[in-house]
């Protein structure tokens, strides 16, 4: 099934308008900054977050210029956070292409990220909505808080699912939650509807991140990062946390702590990956994804009346679980 086409169907024209506005926001005619922004424009993703904003707005009303400026502002904030994350994580790849810090250096990447963040503030100001401006500002705070929490968690020797979800809720899930909320707000949805949209978005974000984490246990050129990359960066994700906690294997726990201490070898990472697969870590993570999927479906039952939008959001849910990159 072509999930992306089904997702886009109710918002095809609005999505093209978004892409034009977003590309314009990343245009500059001056030297190195122009080249760096072009590099970022050329690695465009699937536009999952803007599509969610547009779908939420259309579900509760119509897509307006307020919606589009909110979508561009949020996507710019997300883009800036990725540029900065690559510096923090010392990553050389993003979506299968060289990261900004790899093409240039950390100083340039930080400054480019700052420029994009400032542009995000400019676009969100054009919504003329204090609620949306505040929501984006708080999102920026939450994403930074989540990044710091993840760094501090690396130093924490507890292997906790609760902490894992806490980090997700302040990173990936916060982004999806904000998309759903800002889309609903741009269409003047009521408080109860906005809260329901936020919960739907949070569930989407948790599913999205768990699927991303599962990718790390398999080798595929489509994914854009090598197997065990998260562990190489000091991160322990849901599958390995479950496998170690459910078995109580002290040897594997000691290797997991070496991951957090950045002293683990490639061979030891491979052992942890194999152990996780053998002891149900992947199966457990997929079960948890399905639990959040079921919870998200209740939003469609209670708040989505339009047949095309319902089909689109249902396909959205299915896609983030079934996607292969």
Residue-wise pLDDT for 116-138, tens only, equals: 999 999 999 999 999 999 999 99
Is the pLDDT confidence value at 219 over 90? no
> What 3-state class would DSSP assign to 227?
coil
Is the pLDDT confidence value at 35 over 90? no
Element (H, E) at 98: strand 97-98
Tokens of residue 183, six digits = 């889309």
Quick one: which of 70, 71, 54, 49 has its CA closest to 9? Answer: 54
d(CA 113, CA 75): 12
What the chain holds in terms of domains, given with CATH numbers, is 3-322 (1.10.600.10)
| pLDDT of the residue at 222 | 55
Residue-wise pLDDT for 187-198, tens only, equals: 999 999 999 999
Contacts for 309 with CB less than 8 Å, ≥ 6 apart? 10, 55, 58, 59
Mean pLDDT over 168-178 rounds to: 93
Q: Tell me how crowded residue 42 is: count the other CB atoms within 10 A of its CB.
A: 8
> What 3-state class would DSSP assign to 94?
strand
Mean pLDDT over 176-181 rounds to: 96
Residue-wise pLDDT for 231-266, tens only, equals: 988 889 999 999 999 999 999 999 999 998 889 999
Q: Are 256 and 265 in contact (CB under 8 A)?
A: no
pTM: 0.91
């Amino acid at each position: 099934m072509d999930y992306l086409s089904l997702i886009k169907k109710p918002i095809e024209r609005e999505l093209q308008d978004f892409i034009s506005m977003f590309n314009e926001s990343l245009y500059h005619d001056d030297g190195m900054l122009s080249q760096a922004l072009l590099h970022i424009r050329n690695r465009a993703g699937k536009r999952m977050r803007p599509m969610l904003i547009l779908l939420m707005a259309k579900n509760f009303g119509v897509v307006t210029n307020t919606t589009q400026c909110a979508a561009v502002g949020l996507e710019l904030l997300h883009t800036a956070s990725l540029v900065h994350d690559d510096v923090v994580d010392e990553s050389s790849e993003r979506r299968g292409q060289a990261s900004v810090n790899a093409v240039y250096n950390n100083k340039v990447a930080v400054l480019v990220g700052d420029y994009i963040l400032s542009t995000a503030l400019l676009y969100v100001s054009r919504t003329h909505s204090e609620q949306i401006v505040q929501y984006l500002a708080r999102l920026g705070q939450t994403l930074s808080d989540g990044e710091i929490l993840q760094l501090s968690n690396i130093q924490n020797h507890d292997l906790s699912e609760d902490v894992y979800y806490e980090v997700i809720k302040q990173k990936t899930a916060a982004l999806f939650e904000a998309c759903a909320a800002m889309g609903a707000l741009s269409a003047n949805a009521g408080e109860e509807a906005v809260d329901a949209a936020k919960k739907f978005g949070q569930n989407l974000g948790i599913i999205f991140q768990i699927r991303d984490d599962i990718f790390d246990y398999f080798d595929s050129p489509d994914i854009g990062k090598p197997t065990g990359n998260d562990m190489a960066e000091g991160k322990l994700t849901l599958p390995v946390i479950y496998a170690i906690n459910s078995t109580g294997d002290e040897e594997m726990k000691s290797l997991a702590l070496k991951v957090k201490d950045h002293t683990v070898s490639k061979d030891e990472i491979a052992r942890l990956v194999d152990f996780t697969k053998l002891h149900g870590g992947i199966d457990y993570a997929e079960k948890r994804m399905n639990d959040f999927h079921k919870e998200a479906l209740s939003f469609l039952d209670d708040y989505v009346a339009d047949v095309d939008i319902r089909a689109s959001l249902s396909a959205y849910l299915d896609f983030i679980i079934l996607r292969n990159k």
